[in-house]
Structure 1
Amino acid sequence: MRSILLLVACGLLFLSTLTAAQLPEDPAALQSKPRPGYGTGAAQTTAQAAARYRYWEAPPDSLRRVLTEQRADTARLRTLLHLLDLQLENVNPKEAAALATRLGRPEARALRLLPTAQGSDPKLLVAQLDSMKAAITAFDQLGRPVPRLLSALLPSYAALNQQEAMRTYYQTKRRYYQARGATENVAACLYNLSRYYVYKGDYNQSISHYLRAAELYRGFDRFSYYNRLMGVGARYAEWGNPAKALPYLQQALRAPRRWGLRTYIYHTIARLWLQQHDYPAALQAVEQALRLPAGETNFGVSRPHEKPQGLILKSAVLLALGRTAEAGPLLYQAQRQADSLHLPLTGPGGNLELDATWARYYAARGEVSRAETAWLEAYHKARANGNATLRLKYLRELAGFYQAQHQPAPAARYALAATALADTMETAQGALHVASYEFEQADRVQQARIARLRESQLLATAQARRQRLLLGATLAGSALLAGLGYVLWRSNQQKQRANEQLEQQQAALRAQRDETARALAELRMTQAQLIQKEKMASLGELTAGIAHEIQNPLNFVTNFSDVSAELMLELQEAQLAGDGEEVTVLAGDVIQNLTKIRQHGQRASSIVRGMLEHARPSTGERQPTDVNALCEEYLRLAYQGQRTKDSLFEVEITTNFAPGLAPVHLVAADVGHVLLNLYANAFYALHQRRQQGEPGYEPTLQVTTEHLGEQVEIRVQDNGGGMADDVQAKIFQPFFTTKPAGEGTGLGLSLSYDIIAQGHGGTLQVESQEGEGSQFVLSLPA
């Protein structure tokens, strides 16, 4: 008994060793392994992604409450650094710098460089800008991401009207961060560059940079991701593409309410409807924005500019609705708030079009002089600000204003300036009003889908191989266990039931295998029957033509036999009459008739041999063949076959065979089968179009052979009904046919394609236009 147990253990050890040695690693496990990388560009686990979101989306108010309760220096410094990462406003970096210095932290130098004084004086703004850039450089040396700090430079650049310097700085930083894989900072640079292109009115570049930034923000900061989508919608709205703007704005509305994005979104939707002259919808959107809670903030940063923006926008809508009296009080209220807050023309809430709205208000009241002053003030501010979008808008408004006042000179001057600026902007960004990045992204998505399909195919192949190896190991183990079971049965009757169950399982497997084999055999038989049906259909076409061809020599044999019989009677009479000369003449005529009978008999025999050769399975042996003769012979047989089916069928046949065409090595029976199929299809198409009763229609078929370099080309062209594009795409697929049920198997062209492409290394192509006919081009190696 001990030896039996030892044998069982050895068998199991062998089975486990075989499985472990031969099976590859699980493909799913290979996929789940983390790949090396930096920042959000590398693969993240769910826990890592959640940690990134928690860090960059933490509410600053909550962090400030935590800070008031913390006493330990290390904890306070960590919270202060977190606050500085989220926003520079309302955070004094002095304490953080002091704590970092006291604790000997490497961030101390960068923190000391951060500006502490705020103001609007140009000299102070320059100093603030230089301090923040120096702090960013210090953080870069530590490898610490500072995307919010990078964006904090924007207001200073805007206040100093240094857009070109801003572009140069962010482009340089972007290249620096991309080389080091600092994804968070790359996202910030892309966003800030998008703001530059907004100033320049280049919506193509602006939206493309917004979308590139959003793609990166999505991996670590969903607030900024939705913010960028909101910006894309706003830019598309300004660009005049509402169909693209609305989907992005609707996506941005999915952001949590606590993030405070809804006011800006509703403002943008209102501007969009105002552009589309849907004034009730615009009024509804702006009132939704004004009804939102006044204390709603953007991650702890107040946005006082939103209220005057909403008042100005509502005034513009009311003016468009002709409700001038209601617009005046709103404008006065907006003016007071804008003056008290010192709001710039272009800020985080968009363009502050207060002067332009005043101009429309004065124009509606008939105060032409005040309207002119307001329009000129709006235009001069836009030009000083460098905002190309507003410049173009106000130039057009001024041209229209002076045109309405019957002042053609200034109207023409502003119209020409608007046209020149519009041409410049249109040349720079294209006229489709769709950002080029969207096309690039669509192409990348398609390439990624192809890559995923290829990867899935590789994984499926690996999985199938693994399963095969498992099955082999299982079968080997089953065989081993069956042998061990026999030994155990003799030693221990208690194992008999287990062995019986194993036998039943093996019987079930064999039954399944037999059933599968039987189904496969039936499938192959069905396929063979369909192929044979197609060959017999082709043989039927051939036989019909042969029947007509063989009738001629048989008629000759019958006629010459009858004449020969009459000559023999005359020969007997001349012989009895002793007319030797007449006997000689009659004998010569009989011999000549017999010779012709033999010739026509050989012709009939040749036709029968050709039919048998066509019906006989191909040997696959290629022989030198006269292609012109082959085309002509099967054309004649196919035409006679069609005439046999329809005696009224007539077609004008034109052959244009290349003279002196050298023999081509091919299997004549197989290529003849292909030609017969092409001719039959052409005659069918001609017959179908003729039945439509089209006036003046003459069925024509042209067969051409030509020697082209290393190829011999055969063209079969008809002027039948032709084929649609979707039919051409599937014409060589097995079992596809356009003929009614019972008239075709759908295998003719499929078999023909296989004969030419696989059997002869050539090509078979179709060129067709619906309503004008079809042309099949058969190319064979010369």
Structure 2
Amino acid sequence: MNNESNIQVLQDQIDQLNKEAWNIRVNDSTQSHVLSKKAFLLAEDINYAKGKAEGYRTFAFCLIRLSKHIEALEYSEKSLALFESLNDLDGKSSIYAYFGIIQRSLGNYSASLEYLFKSLELSQQTGNKESESLTCYHIAVTYKYLGEFETALTHLLQSLSISRQNNYWISESYSLNLIGLIYFETGDLSNALDYYHQSLSFRQKAGDKWGEAGCLDNIGIIHFKLKDNSAALDFCSRALSISRAIADKKGEANSLFHLGNIYEQLADFKKASACYNDSLLIRRDIADKKGETEILLFLAGLYLKEDLAEKSQQDIFELLNKALQLGEEMNAPDLLAKIHLGFYTACKHFNRYQEALTHIETHISLSKEIHSDAVNQKIQNLEISYKAEKSRKEAEIYRLKNVELANLYEESNRQKEEIEITLAELRSAQAQLIQSEKMASLGELTAGIAHEIQNPLNFVNNFSEVNKELLTEMNEEIAKGNFDEVKALAKDVTDNEEKIIFHGKRADAIVKGMLQHSRSTNNATKEPTDINALADEYLRLAYHGLRAKDKSFNATMKTDFDESIGKINVIPQDIGRVILNLITNAFYVVDEKKKSPHPLKGGEPYEPTVTVTTKKLGSPSGDGGKVEISVKDNGNGIPQKVMDKIFQPFFTTKPTGKGTGLGLSMSYDIVTKGHGGELKVETKEGEGAEFIIILPNKP
């Protein structure tokens, strides 16, 4: 066998190793790590570019799984250089996605979105639907980190749609799990549990033990929140067993920590202590300083409980001092605030009032700093999201302009007049799009935030000043030895601190609300869509989103879906945005009517109701007809004098700061220009309004 034949045999062996490593990267990342390394080492020996590129790529994926992000970045960069030399667009797309994941883990959200949108563009260019669905999922993860739940859900639904059409279980299970997490963070435990179970089913069928353990642990946490401790113990224990079997140390530490939470809730403090300590040892072993600090705080709080009174003051303060040391090393204000609150609780428990005073003062000071930083971070996140979307839109406008110019140039000899008209329209559309973005950002990022956030910040400052005076008075009473008075003052300080936290969260909620105004339209194509499922999904999203912001909000939801419709060709995220906007407006008007002094004449009880219906409309021509989607409310209706203005940009009847006036105008453009449909409204003052979408029924 000659040398050329030997090289071909080696290349085939390397290709087979890379194929096997790539196929098992999700189910068995440990073995994938071994195989991919073997592949690229062999490829390096014979300078086989394709073998090195694919080996580095899979190896980088495994390093990301192990949270070794800097090392993963090194191998991703080596892989990208090789894929570029090979002009392998699919390879480049996957590496850009890895860059996006790594940058997100490092807290660089702007860079994360930039790389992920590059990956999405390449996957759409090559028609790689699996890569497109996974990239949409990772874009959603970054938007979730930015606090933009609505935008995250839009990308998740896009990922789910692609995954279900093509039976991609990996991206579908990922998306289901993240939707569950978003519901969990907004307090909707029932829907969170449902989505976690859906994701778990996929992981178990595919043999993805790593993902199965994560889903089981998530389900256990929900049962813990629901005080169903028996089920919580079962799920978290199963997660722990799997994590130990696959040597997932981080997963093992998480499950042990959650088991400690459950045992503490059951008042089995010795088992709780054992679980916390086991988790603590693993956190130290994997150098997870943040996790170690949080467990030290939980242990200190646990040892203050009556059943563990044998633990001395020294034991408790040793834990707190170690936590303080770690918090200062990490320079983490949020952890330091919790640590000083822990010191305050312990000092007060052991009647060390002078030290308690010092720690509560530090805690309050850090809390103010955290609330201020959080608001600034939310504004920065909004700017990051806005800039990423704006850059992408302008690039798409430029691309479309070049395509249109090329087409027009080919027909220039016989269509000169048409060229000039089309080019003028294109330039006008480009200028209008860019100008509307600038106007929206100017109004929404400055005046809106500044106006809306002032009141809660005033409350934070006022209660902080009151606490400052109370602490001065407490210091005087300590000097006098009046400890009963000291305890009373300490309670006042704690009560005020809760008010500071409440208004800080209120400021946070306002900024999250402002984030929704920077929503974007993706470069997407029409696809067969179940319009009934889409309407039902967005009805629930709108309702639970409002409930998460205002627990007092309530309304009756009614649906009447025509099951004969089937699937129609639309851009699901765009039509979903229209439906969501109409439903959100409907909930707003019925809630406003409910809050008015006399909702109904004669003092009759008023039940806020929003009804969503779909209906198939026939057509004499037999072309499939049309589909009607209706969103109806029993609010106060729309005054006739403003009926001709409601679809105009920036027109709103809401109070200042509660609406941009862009929702209905954008919805109108999406339905009429983007889908060739109609958007109309029927209303009767005092009785309600009905918005009707009519779309071509093209399967």
Give me the TM-score of the superposition, normalised by structure 2: 0.43
**Which entry has the higher C-alpha Rg, 1 or 2?**
1
After TM superposition, the score normalised by the length of structure 1 is 0.39
